[in-house]
Homo-oligomer: A and B are copies of this chain.
């Protein structure tokens, strides 16, 4: 159920987002924006769509914040991949934007995707008070108190005297990936003007489980027969949940978080089955 819905939502969101981008014509910067919005798993957009379904929000409203969160995610990846940041040349199996075009185009494409995201949240199809709430929360989640804070902590960690401890790495993750996941999961409740606490708890546990699973995959990938996967973070001497908790400890912690995530959704009863499945998927997936 979850896998099929993720796939369907991701396709729908990507199609709409690309249509929004296509309005801007055919300059390289627009092609770069389009490139960056293709081929993702679409988890964040799915979370918006599913939390909207949970609150009986019409799909033509839900698709706007779903596209917005994927646009913010894409912008963050473009800038993250820049030579001055992580310097990655591959993303989703394709060349990164600054490799396929150039750095200036990558900077501008990321900038314009962030702008587009807030533009989508200001669409007249959304009730104004809900639109403002989504935009306000997005600014918290994406800005210097959220995602950018996480990125900045990550940069600071690289030159820190000692590796981060568990609290520090948890704070880093909460900003870097947790804040946007939280925004996405809460979007349906915000659109409905109702209490987002259960979804916020769900997303906090889900986001952390997701990051721990990432760290586990980073190590386990190396033991693969293919031997192709790089232990990028581990080899860079960065603290990870695995380096701090051990492989078994990290697995146990992730499982515990999934149980927490599922329990947080109890107020929604059976309607939350797909979101619960999403949490179980987080620790069972391949990369």
- A148 near B102 with CB under 8 A, answer no
B residues in contact with A131, CB < 8 Å: 128, 132, 135
- A136 near B116 with CB under 8 A, answer no
* A84/B110 contact (C-beta < 8 A), A115-B144, A122-B139 known: no
**What is the CA–CA distance of A82 and B122 in the complex, to the nearest angstrom?**
30
B residues in contact with A75, CB < 8 Å: 111
- Looking at chain A's contact residues, is the secondary structure mostly helix, strand, loop, or mixed? helix
* A115/B135 contact (C-beta < 8 A), A104-B85, A148-B29 known: no
- How far is the CB of A63 from the nearest CB of chain B, in Å? 17
Q: How many copies does the complex hold?
A: 2
B residues in contact with A110, CB < 8 Å: 111
B residues in contact with A126, CB < 8 Å: 132
Query: Which residues of A78-101 have CB atoms within 8 Å of chain B's CB atoms?
Result: 79, 82, 84-85
- Across the interface, name the chain B residue whose C-beta is closest to A24: B144
B residues in contact with A174, CB < 8 Å: none
